[in-house]
């Protein structure tokens, strides 16, 4: 195995067509109550899981613990989907591993509940809490304006005092949030208070109003951004949508942005109510090393088989059931047909819907509505540096960047000497940058990211980062400190007539909630998982992928008549102090009246 990473070994073994043959893992979590050989329905039943990303691996995990025979079919030669790490070709030297590349950096907000439960159930050597112990708290965030304007440093830990009884009463919440925004953001007089009043409208809106009214209203219109200052628009409009979830404030559903990006992050994360931990957490190493590889090894020990390098071509439907799945080698070759008792599609929506033929779409019209679900580009680029960069102990947002950049210096969180572990021994840090806007002109070439070549994208991103982060005495690296860079190979054709991105991100324009399917379909042996499936978290996240997998497995268990314990599904925290106001709002909504706090 000299010269190969453990990830390459796992992927290679899987692609040969057998189960990954590893022994039992010490400290493996016990099976849930009702799982295993004593459960009715599960043992001996076969499940084909289509897709080896977070949703597919989450589903395989839950099914294998309940005694099902699971095979995962994955397009790439490695598992993990958009969450996986990738070796930078030709970068390993002197017995060190290749430099780690990725689709984009991993971010584990404190409001996640379902995914952290899975992380705790993945054994990892030396970790009593499994892979979950590989999470590290990011204690700060930097909101960086272009020079010479100073940025805003947010100290997360000082904001996470657990709330006392009464702190979430509307008047107290208004004072707390308006004061914090006024102190931190320095917006023109009255704008922080107005924004908080808009938040109170949503926080006290009933579920019916949220789904029937606010789902149809763009976030930009809801917060009245068009009549506010540039900083209000950039910080509370674009900053909360384009920079964080790659959707545009002018189009993004208010229900999604307010409920998840604002409400969940605020209440579950920043204010310490109902969450799993600190607001911002990252892994202590490359994603595949710290998470995906231990996960694959654990699933293999449970009997899960992997078929990597396999493209799913078509889900075959006849006689009211799925009869098989047509697959082929991803690099080309003769197709074949996969047979199983149950089929669980965990492909991204843009790939999943391409596999549903007319008969299947007619059997469940909700599948056809998925054609209206939109995706967009949010892709990472990594810069490998000869000296460490210390912008902030957490993520940094380039607020004035035309390409909506968000960055994190990774080595500060990794439990290893970067230079000794990776590359040729001269690289000491990795600045990982997510590019969320690919359709606006940049500052160097006056072209959009899609119109630039890969080399021009790298130079443009570096220039925009430098303009945001370089300050006298701030320690921003010189151009000569850049050893190299890596851009996700899923992005192809840049600078040409047909740029493409095979790994796009689900976006949430107003009104698209109604196009999203549930985990259970109208076809009795076919189920869906992925962040496009309806979930409580309602956002294109790893949490949404994990939650959807739990819902899909529960639906499969119901269809199979299994007596195995159902997967626990956590919803977002709902402050009990606000529930009476939501009941009042439901009555007002049904009478055609606005929310009590909606003063226009």
CATH code: domain of residue 366: 3.50.50.60
Task: Please report the pLDDT score of residue 366 as a whole number.
Answer: 95
Cβ-contact 47, 72 below 8 angstroms: no
Residue 56 CA to residue 561 CA, distance in Å, equals 22
Let me know: does 232 contact 187? Beta carbons within 8 Å. yes
Return the pLDDT at 1. 29
Residues 261 and 331 in one domain: no
Closest CA to 247 of 34, 48, 540: 540
Looking at the fold, whether 250 and 294 belong to one and the same domain comes out as no
Give a yes or no: residue 92 inside a domain: no
Residue 160: the pLDDT is: 47
| Calpha distance 225→46 (Å, rounded) | 52
Does residue 417 belong to any structural domain of this protein? no
SS3 124: strand
User: How far, in Å, CA of 130 to CA of 111, rounded?
Assistant: 19
Per DSSP, 489 falls in state: T
Based on the structure, what is the number of domains in the chain?
A: 2
For residues 289 and 300, give the distance between their C-alpha atoms in angstroms, rounded to a whole number. Answer: 16
Give the pLDDT score at 235: 85
Calculate ∠ Cα 177-181-186, nearest 5°: 160
Put residue 204 in one of left, alpha, beta given phi > 0 → left and psi -120 to 50 → alpha: alpha
The Cα–Cα gap between 531 and 538 comes to 8
Query: Which pairing describes strands 140-144 and 394-398: parallel, antiparallel, or unpaired?
Result: parallel
Integer CA distances (angstroms), 545 to 59, 314, 471, in order: 10, 22, 39
Q: How far apart are CA 401 and CA 437, in angstroms?
A: 9
How does 343-365 read in b/e, with b if 16+ C-beta sit within 10 Å? bbbbbbbbbbbebbeeebbebbe
What string of pLDDT tens digits covers the 600 residues of the chain?
233 343 433 433 333 333 332 222 223 333 333 333 335 666 789 999 999 999 999 999 999 999 999 999 999 999 999 999 999 999 999 999 999 999 988 889 888 999 999 999 999 999 999 999 999 999 888 888 888 888 888 777 644 455 554 555 677 666 666 666 665 667 888 888 899 899 999 999 999 999 999 999 999 999 999 999 988 988 888 877 775 666 778 888 999 888 887 777 776 655 556 678 888 899 999 999 999 999 999 999 999 999 999 999 999 999 999 999 999 999 888 999 999 999 999 999 999 999 999 999 999 999 999 999 989 999 999 999 999 998 899 999 998 999 999 999 999 999 999 999 999 999 999 999 999 999 999 999 999 999 999 999 999 999 999 999 998 877 799 999 999 999 999 999 999 999 999 999 888 888 888 999 999 999 999 999 999 999 998 888 999 999 999 999 999 999 999 999 999 999 888 888 889 999 999 999 999 999 999 987
In three-state secondary structure terms, 283 is strand
Distance (Å, whole) CA 106 – CA 116: 13
Q: Is residue 47 part of a domain?
A: yes
The answer to the question of residue 414 being in a domain is no
Tokens matching residue 286? 């490359």
Whole-angstrom distance, CA of residue 305 vs CA of residue 369: 32
In a domain, 549, yes or no: yes
Nearest to 135 by CA among 109, 158, 101, 104: 109
Per-residue CA distances from 269 to 170, 205, 227, 274, 316 (Å): 19, 21, 30, 8, 43
Residues 182 and 242 in one domain: yes
Q: Would residue 103 count as lying in a domain? A: no
Residue 528 domain-assigned (yes or no): yes
Query: For residue 232, is it within any domain?
Result: yes
Rounded Cα distance between 387 and 400, Å, is 26
Angle at 352 between CA 350 and CA 353, to 5 degrees: 75
User: What is the pLDDT at residue 173?
Assistant: 65
User: Is 200:174 a contact under the CB 8 Å cutoff?
Assistant: yes
Strand partners, 487: 381
CA 550, CA 215: separation in Å to the nearest integer? 25
What range defines the domain where residue 298 resides? 6-22+39-84+286-372+514-560
294: which DSSP letter? H
Using omega within 30 degrees of 0 as the cis cutoff, is the peptide bond preceding 148 cis? yes
**CB burial of residue 139 (10 Å; 0-12, 13-18, 19+):** middle
**Given this model, what pLDDT does residue 243 score?**
59
Contact 554, 566 (CB under 8 A): yes
3-state helix, strand, coil in the chain (%, to 5): 35, 20, 45
* Cα radius of gyration rounded to whole Å, the chain: 24
**DSSP-derived secondary structure letter, 238:** I
Residue with tokens 């579950």: 268
Rounded to whole angstroms, how far apart are CA atoms 437 and 431? 18
- Asked if 206 and 293 sit in the same domain, the reply is no
């Amino acid at each position: 195995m000299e010269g190969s990473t453990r990830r390459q070994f796992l992927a290679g073994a899987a692609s040969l067509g057998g189960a990954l043959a590893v022994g039992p893992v010490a400290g493996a979590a016990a099976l849930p109550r009702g799982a295993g050989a004593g459960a009715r329905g599960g043992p001996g039943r076969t499940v084909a899981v289509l897709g080896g990303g977070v949703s597919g691996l989450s589903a395989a995990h839950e099914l294998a613990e309940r005694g099902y025979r699971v095979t995962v079919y994955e397009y790439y030669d490695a598992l993990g989907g958009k969450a996986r790490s990738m070796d930078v070709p030709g970068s390993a030297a002197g017995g060190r591993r290749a430099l780690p590349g990725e689709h984009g950096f991993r971010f584990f907000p404190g409001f996640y509940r379902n995914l952290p439960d899975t992380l705790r159930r993945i054994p990892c050597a030396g970790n009593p809490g499994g892979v979950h112990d590989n999470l590290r708290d990011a204690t700060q965030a930097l909101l960086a304006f272009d020079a010479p304007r100073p940025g805003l440093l947010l100290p997360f830990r000082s904001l996470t005092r657990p709330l006392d009884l009464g702190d979430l009463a509307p008047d107290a919440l208004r004072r707390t949030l308006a004061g914090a925004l006024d102190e931190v953001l320095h917006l023109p007089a009255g704008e922080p208070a107005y924004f908080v009043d808009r938040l109170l409208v949503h926080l006290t809106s009933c579920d019916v109003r949220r789904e029937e009214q606010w789902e149809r209203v763009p976030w930009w219109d809801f917060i009245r951004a068009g009549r506010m200052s540039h900083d209000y628009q950039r910080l509370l409009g674009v900053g909360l949508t384009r920079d964080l979830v790659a959707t545009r404030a002018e189009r993004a559903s208010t229900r999604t942005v307010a409920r998840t990006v604002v409400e969940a992050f605020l209440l579950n994360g920043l204010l310490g109510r109902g969450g799993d931990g600190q607001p911002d957490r990252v892994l202590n190493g490359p994603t595949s090393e710290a998470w995906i590889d231990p996960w694959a090894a654990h699933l293999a020990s449970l009997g899960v088989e992997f078929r990597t390098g396999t493209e799913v071509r078509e889900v075959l439907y006849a006689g009211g059931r799925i009869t098989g799945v047509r697959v082929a080698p991803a690099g080309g070759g003769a197709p074949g047909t996969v047979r199983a008792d149950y089929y669980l599609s965990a492909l991204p929506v843009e790939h999943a819907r391409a596999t549903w033929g007319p008969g299947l779409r007619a059997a469940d019209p909700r599948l056809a509505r998925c054609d209206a679900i939109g995706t967009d580009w949010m892709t990472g680029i990594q810069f490998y540096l000869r000296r460490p960069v210390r912008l902030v102990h957490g993520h940094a947002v380039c607020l004035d960047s035309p390409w909506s950049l968000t960055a994190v210096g990774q080595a500060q969180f990794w439990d290893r000497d970067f230079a000794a572990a990776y590359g040729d021994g001269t690289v000491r840090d990795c600045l990982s940058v997510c590019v969320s806007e690919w359709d606006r002109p940049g500052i160097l070439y006056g072209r959009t990211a899609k119109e630039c070549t890969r080399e021009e994208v790298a130079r443009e991103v570096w220039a925009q980062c430098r303009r945001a982060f370089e300050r006298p005495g701030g320690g921003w690296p010189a151009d000569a400190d850049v050893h190299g860079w890596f851009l996700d190979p899923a992005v192809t054709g840049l600078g040409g007539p047909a740029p493409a991105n095979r790994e796009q991100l689900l976006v949430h324009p107003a009104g698209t909630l109604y196009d999203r399917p549930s985990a259970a379909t109208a076809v009795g042996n076919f189920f869906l998982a992925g962040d496009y499936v309806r979930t409580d978290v309602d956002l294109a996240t790893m949490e949404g992928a994990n939650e959807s997998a739990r819902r899909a497995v529960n639906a499969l268990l119901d269809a199979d008549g299994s007596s195995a314990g159902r997967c626990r599904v956590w919803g977002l925290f709902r402050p009990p102090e606000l529930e009476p106001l939501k009941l009042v709002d439901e009555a007002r909504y049904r009478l055609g009246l606005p929310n009590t706090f909606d003063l226009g």
